[in-house]
Chains A and B, each alone.
Chain A
Amino acid sequence: MTEETTAPLKIVVLVKHVPDVQFDRHIDSDTLRLDRSESVLSELDEYAVEAAVALVEAQGGFAAGHEVIAATMGGKSASNSVKRALQMGASSGIHLNDDALAGSDTVATSKALAALIEHVGAVDLVVTGMSSTDAETSVVPAQLAERLNFAQLTHALAIDFDGASREVTIRRDHAERTLSLAATLPAVLSVTDQANEPRYPNFKAIMAAKKKSITEVSLADISLSAAEVGTAGSRTSVLNATERPAREAGTVINDSGQAGIALVDFLAEQKLI
């Protein structure tokens, strides 16, 4: 492998601490905010961390001077998602820790993250998951491309990086087509669960992560005021949120040879055929 031509890459991978999808999730009826007590690294961000670390490994590794900085925003516990990214191979972490961030919509979130990325400075590539598993809007990566004036390479099914030309090529679905899209750095890359298989950190990686640093910054450090983020800085306001009644299990029958007919009877009864 020849890899001497690649100038050091500075990659920021965005990670989010979200309520575990395996448990029941609730929206608080007073604050209209999501209960975040049982939170973990968003499963979909693991594909982003994997993509960033694998890209560096293919370009001579961290010894060649590349950096993968795992970045997050949110209250104190959000740093747990950064820790997980460090175990997966990110080289350092940065945490925008400010209680004023709570309640940010996508417009406010992308504003804070763009400011954080500018604070890191000279970033070549921003890598994210395809969506968070809580709000599931999947639009923050595109909004970051807009704010940073980076190329938008989102929803990547497959990723290719050419070190010499510093060009990223992805495949993505678009209407009734699959496109190959290319852009030179800087870019925002969002990664689907089709793109790779996230690694599972081993004991050695977990121990190594303990030595990596996580820098904490406040809103003031990145030149934002509390009024620009959180509920105050959001362009949307939530009026109410109602839990839909849980689906209830209906009739369950055992097939004793006639279940296909019983199924059609059921559909006819429900006026579905």
Chain B
Amino acid sequence: MPSALVFFNELSDVPSKAQRELLTLASRFDQSTLAVASEVSQDAQNVVANYGLSKLLVAPSQGDIFVDHALSVLEAAVKQSASDVVLVANDNFNREVAARMAVRLDGAVITDAIDVATDLVVTKDELAGSYSAQAQSTGGTLFVSVKPNSIDDDPQSSGQQLEVQNLAIQSATAAQVRVVATEAKAVSDRPKLTEARVVVAGGRGVNGDFGPVEDLADALAGAVGASRAATDAGWITHDAQIGQTGVTVSPQLFISAGISGAIQQKAGMQTSKCIVAINKDVDAPVFEIADFGIVGDLSKVLPQAAEEIRRRQA
């Protein structure tokens, strides 16, 4: 059976849902290794051990280096582990690192995967999820970036022995790209947009007030998203943007409020399991893909729904 390598650029004490999904995927393979390009705490190691991985390769960076350190670590880890498949998260940074490494090591790269079978056939989304395709490598190491929410997080065992090894990487030549400033983003208590079970998104129709959207999201323990019209207007940060040029989400429940459903917007949410739309225009294209639609004013419908959820939960 092929062997797998999971690569994380960073790993906090509590691995993210997307990271746990990758570990679950790796545990399907006989031999699986994790390589991390930053420090790994004992807490994080304990979590990783539960996924039955046999080895952890660690190589923290000296200082804030953009892409060069990740590339050196991944290159060394692939060579040392001689893995057949490398699994990374589907965010821009990780897929770029994987794709560069595929070029460097004459391997293959497949993005937007939703599954990787043990015979290394990859199932992936095409055309914003309107197609599902299967692809494989024609030779060389296969690098795959896997979309979040595609694999059920399923730790296998507990108390498994994890061999931790410091990875020797070649002293990096002067980095081509310098990090000249770093700004931390405001942290939210809500679940991460790409990982949330429920997403409530608002568009131009919220008319500057995300209050009702946030309130319903909180009643459902969900994340808050937005259309580009809403982020461009500055009502909410750009990170909340869902769509072709924002994030792609695929939650169990997507509630769209005051969003018309333009093609670029739908590209980021049309693979959601259940879609609910609230829009005051009966002809809004979003109704064509909604499982449940309400023609009405979101400033009335959302608060009423939030209150009703709280009443039933009380």
Contacts and interface: CB of A to CB of B under 8 A. Distances in A.
A137 B177 contact: no
Of B129, B181, B302, chain A has the most CB atoms within 10 Å of the CB of B181
A235 to B, nearest CB: 4
A272 to B, nearest CB: 5
A263 B179 contact: no
A77 B108 CA distance: 28
Interface in B31-74: 66-67
A193 B133 CA distance: 28
Interface string B221-260: 0000000100000000011000011000000110000000
Contacts of B178: 181-183
A239 B177 contact: no
A251 B293 contact: yes
B139 A235 contact: yes
B179 A244 contact: no
Interface string B277-295: 0100010000111111111
Contact of A249 (B108, B121, B274, B288): B288
A152 B176 contact: yes
A223 interface: no
Given A176-B185, A179-B182, A237-B138, A264 B312 contact: yes
B274 A240 contact: no
A260 B132 contact: no
A130 interface: yes
Nearest to A137: B111
B295 A194 contact: no
A105 B138 CA distance: 11
B302 to A, nearest CB: 7
A243 interface: yes
Interface string A233-268: 011111111111011011111110111111110111
Contacts of B267: 21
A64 interface: no
Contacts of A192: 245
B99 A106 contact: yes
Interface string A74-115: 000000000000000000000000000000011100100000
Interface residues of B, number: 90
A136 interface: yes
Interface string B96-116: 111110111011111110000
Given A137-B111, A252-B293, A263 B301 contact: yes
A253 B293 contact: yes
Interface in B175-212: 176-185, 187, 198
B14 to A, nearest CB: 14
A137 B99 contact: yes
Given A183-B178, A264-B308, A107 B102 contact: yes
A38 interface: no
Contacts of A131: 244-245
Contacts of A6: none
Interface in A158-187: 169, 173-183
Interface string A129-164: 011011011111111011100111111010000000
B154 interface: no
Contact of A260 (B179, B198, B304): B304
Contacts of B151: none
A267 B306 CA distance: 12
Nearest to B303: A260
Interface string A200-240: 00000000000000000000000000000000001111111
B102 A235 contact: yes
Nearest to B274: A270
Given A137-B112, A241-B132, A241-B134, 20 more contacts: A25-B127, A130-B245, A134-B127, A139-B100, A142-B97, A143-B99, A152-B67, A176-B185, A181-B180, A192-B245, A234-B138, A235-B140, A237-B135, A238-B133, A255-B294, A259-B301, A260-B303, A263-B301, A266-B292, A272-B198
